[in-house]
Amino acid sequence: MGGSGMSDLASKHCVPCRGGVPPLKGEALRPYAEQLPDWKIVEEHHLLKTFSFPDFKSALDFVNRVGEIAEAEGHHPDLYLTWGRVDVKTYTHKIDGLTESDFILAAKVDRAFAESRARAEGAH
């Protein structure tokens, strides 16, 4: 998991996109990508990461937690839930590309995953 960069991004809040803002491209993506090395930047358009779980219920609980974060931030990722796995894809739909808010959301999702793993390990 990321170092201080993740917590720095995770402490920020997503900013609503009003449109007309150019998406981040090329070198502008680098500082964000360095803070979230486990996320894939796909075609400079969206972020993608797969999270693994020991069972369906754990994955579903994570999806619900990500949903809470998305609602609180007003920034909503695409979520794909299957047994033992959740794929998270995020981009700013209004501009059909990436903004800082996508990286902030990704960092918050990483933090939620780390917290769910810590809780699961504490339960054993």
What digits encode the pLDDT tens for the residues 51-80? 999 999 999 999 999 999 999 999 999 999
- Calculate the average pLDDT of the chain: 89
Sequence-ordered list of residues with C-beta below 8 angstroms from that of 32, at least 6 positions apart, any chain: 9, 24, 100, 103
Condensed to tens digits (0 to 9), the pLDDT of residues 24-51 reads 999 999 999 999 999 999 999 999 999 9
Comparing CA positions, the residue from 106, 113, 43 lying closest to residue 75 is: 106
Q: What pLDDT score was predicted for residue 45?
A: 97
Q: How far apart are CA 77 and CA 106, in angstroms?
A: 9
**82-120 pLDDT, tens per residue?**
999 999 999 999 899 999 999 999 999 999 999 988 877
Instruction: Let me know if residue 90 belongs to a domain.
Output: yes
Q: Helix (H, G, I), strand (E, B), or coil: what is residue 22?
A: coil
* Domain with 54 in it: 4-12+26-123
Look at residue 3 and tell me whether its pLDDT is greater than 50. Answer: no
Q: Is 86 exposed, middle or buried (0-12, 13-18, 19+ CB in 10 A)?
A: buried
- Residue 18 falls inside a structural domain: no
Angle made by CA atoms 123, 4, 27, in degrees to the nearest 5: 130
Does 19 map to a domain? no
- Determine how many CB atoms are found less than 10 A away from the CB of residue 73: 18
Total domains in the fold of the chain:
1
State residue 4's pLDDT score: 43
| CATH of residue 45 | 3.30.1360.20
